Amino acid sequence: MEKTTSYPKWDAPYFTGKKIEKIYCFPWCMEKFHPENTIRFQSRANAEQAGYRPCKKCCSTLPIGAWTDKQSELTLVVPKEFSFNENMKYLSKEPNECLFYCKNQRIYRAIPIKEETPVVEIRSDQDNMLHIRFLGTTMPSCKWMRAEVARYVRDWFDLDTDLLPFYDLAKSDALLQRAVTHFTGLRNIGIPDLFEAICWGIIGQQINLPFAYTLKRRLVEAFGRSIECDGETYWIFPSPHDIAALTMEDLKGLQMTGKKCEYLIGVAQLMVEGKITKEQLANCGDYKKAENMLVKIRGIGPWTANYVLMRCLRMPSAFPIDDVGLHNAIKYLQGTPQKPTKAEILKLSATWTNWEAYATFYLWRFLY
């Protein structure tokens, strides 16, 4: 078993902005967008000896996300600014969530990767560690598939963002100061699947959150797939392919607006045709370009675009400024009878540059 590198050792070179020229990852890594000059090494020790640093994007070599592989279990090293309890509270807040569940301080879900669907239990027995255990007979067969699971969990919990600058920023910000005090260690829990993120955004437009979860459940149970594992049923969000072939009639039973049904089918068709992909959005240049690409899609306005960029693409500047929940959170914190105007929010958020997404996520937590 490979020894896990502790967090502090790898901290410095990554977050100081210092340019690193010699990058390594492992032969089995499937990451498609490595930095240039990335060399593959058989072992971490050899790479380090040669003066190489682990690839920041690579699932198996990240400093913080380093993992050990014990066949039935993966262990991720997480940053200091990670509170399993705080993230658990967020994940547990919605009883009607259908894509995972929480029980005894553990999280359970199926993670679809290519043809396989491993079911995992995620727990944290000790600080700075996250344990991923495969349930039943769902353990992935090959090493890179396990690496994909590790990558998925790291992405889901946003383990690769260094929150220290955000916490520094918050010290001198009236709103954020209270937010980070209350929710220290909370991460921007993501929606890694782009189609799911867009659908969730569209479904959530202009209705209260409990009803949005009900609609999502109906959609998933009608058109998604499920697998059984250890006596539990695990649902997987429908693929674009599943939805693209549907008609308005098929979606009527869900009881959402006809327009939303059109939007969902339209987005599914665009994705089946390859006209929207996560890679395109991630690599299109900057956040504003990605926002423009999304807003052009029928059914996606500024709010949904920023929501998707925030929860799926994890762009730090994504900012759903029209969000009613954000308005209510600010109103609550300021103790004012009226919700803030857009101008007031712009003023309050002027110093949040590159942390708008995290600020929003933290402020939302005051609502529940």
In the complex, what is the shortest distance from the CB of residue 208 to DNA, in angstroms, rounded to a whole number?
Answer: 4
Applying CB under 7 A, among 60, 188, 205, 239 the residue interacting with DNA is: 205
User: Least distance from C-beta 165 to DNA, angstroms?
Assistant: 23
Rounded least distance, CB 367 to DNA, Å:
7
Does position 206 interact with DNA (CB under 7 A)? The reply is yes
Question: Between 73 and 97, whose beta carbon lies closer to DNA?
Answer: 97
Closer CB to DNA, 62 or 261, in the complex: 261
- Identify which of residues 101 and 211 has a Cβ nearer to DNA in the complex: 211
* Closest CB 363 distance from DNA, rounded Å: 11
Binding residue for DNA, selected from 34, 211, 226, 232, defined by CB under 7 A:
211
Task: By CB under 7 A, tell whether 246 contacts DNA.
Answer: no
Q: Whole-number minimum distance, CB 5 to DNA, in Å?
A: 34
- CA distances, 109 to each of 6, 97, 134, 233, 234 (Å): 27, 11, 10, 10, 6
**Interface with DNA, residue 214, by CB under 7 A:** yes
325 in contact with DNA (CB under 7 A) = yes
Query: Is 364 one of the binding residues for DNA (CB under 7 A)?
Result: yes
Tell me how far apart the alpha carbons of residues 333 and 336 are, in angstroms, rounded to a whole number: 8
Contact stretch for DNA (CB under 7 A) within 22-30, 38-46, 166-174, 203-211:
203-211
The nearer residue to DNA, 299 or 340, going by C-beta atoms, is 299
Pairwise CA distance, residues 3 & 93, whole Å: 35
d(CA 17, CA 106): 35
Q: Which of 30, 135, 207, 321 binds DNA (CB under 7 A)?
A: 207
Burial of 18 (0-12, 13-18, 19+ CB in 10 A): exposed
Of 258, 275, 288, 336, the residue at the interface with DNA (CB under 7 A) is 258
Q: Which of 259, 275, 288, 342 binds DNA (CB under 7 A)?
A: 259
Does residue 100 touch DNA according to CB under 7 A?
A: no
Burial 269-295 (b: 16+ CB within 10 A, else e): bbbbeeebebeebeeeeebeebbebbe
Task: List the interface residues with DNA, window 298-317 (CB under 7 A).
Answer: 298-305, 307, 311
Marked catalytic residue, from 158, 160, 242, 323: 323
| β-bridge partners, 133 | 73, 121
| Three-class HEC string of 55-87 | CCCCCCCCCCCCEEECCCEEEEECCCCCCHHHH
Q: Which of 50, 142, 324, 346 binds DNA (CB under 7 A)?
A: 324
Rounded distance, CA 293 to CA 303, Å? 13
101-103: strand order across its sheet: 67-69, 73-77, 129-134, 119-123, 106-110, 101-103
Give the HSE-up count for residue 22: Cα atoms under 13 Å, Cβ half-sphere: 8
323 catalytically annotated: yes
Q: Which of 43, 49, 233, 257 binds DNA (CB under 7 A)?
A: 257
| Minimum gap (Å) between residue 145 Cβ and DNA | 30
Residue 276 tokens read as 């929207």
How far is the C-alpha of 166 from the C-alpha of 249, rounded, in Å?
Answer: 47
Residue with tokens 């993501």: 190
CB of 296 to DNA, least distance (A): 8
Give residue 106's Cα distance to chain centre: 18
* Contact window for DNA (CB under 7 A) among 154-162, 198-206, 232-240, 350-358: 198-206
Please choose, out of 33-41, 67-75, 137-145, 249-257, the segment that lies near DNA by the rule CB under 7 A.
249-257
| 8-state DSSP, 50 | T
Which burial class, exposed, middle or buried, applies to 94 when counting CB atoms under 10 A from its CB (0-12, 13-18, 19+)? Answer: middle
Residues lying near DNA in the complex (CB under 7 A) are found at 201, 204-212, 214, 255-259, 295, 297-305, 307, 311, 322-325, 328, 339, 364, 367
Active site residues: 323
